[in-house]
Amino acid sequence: MVRPREFDRDAALEQAMRVFWARGFAATSTADLVEAMGIARQSLYNAFGDKRRLYLEALETYQRRTTAGHLKRLNDPASPTEGVRDLLSGLIVEDDGLRAMGCMGVGAIAEFSTSDPELTALRAKVAALLRKRLTDRIREGQAVGEFDQGTSPTEAAAFIQMTMSGIQLAARGGVAAKDLRTMARFAVDRLKAI
């Protein structure tokens, strides 16, 4: 008879995600994970496979949540300018410790580059979804006269995504929230109609 699992899998995954987010994959040991998750090593293997499978699940969970938040901030305001501004400013948290963690997805790019096909595919799926919606919002902004008509919507969307990564890397590097907000405001101003 199989013994029932004696821990909350979702709560354990949440804890693993926070450890990976803070430290990255290579710097996180299995011992770090079992301690943070509050489970035995064998339970980790039984429930999640190995460290790599756990990392992939944690990263996918993180990206699903953050992408939903990005899209909500981008879509909620009626004004496309406000949507793009909210998207960028929503990346900037006041809590110094949390802000210094940056973005787990950007951390994965920094750590793995394109060397891991599964991570590359996961990242590409999320990036394409956000880029499409950004492109649409920029077109909406052009249609109502908020954004410069001479700007390519796809190039502008790529610029905003690059700015997102820059903000998150700068946050991880210790840049103050007020300076990150200045960077976000500068990026949005580049799109505005003259």
Contact 151, 142 (CB under 8 A): yes
Question: Which pLDDT tens digit goes with each residue over 144-168?
Answer: 999 999 999 999 999 999 999 999 9
Q: Kindly report the CATH class assigned to 56-191.
A: mainly alpha
Confidence at residue 1, expressed as pLDDT on a 0 to 100 scale? 46
- pTM for the model stands at 0.91
The Cα 21–Cα 103 span in angstroms is 7
Contact 141, 82 (CB under 8 A): no
Q: Where are the domains of the chain?
A: 56-191
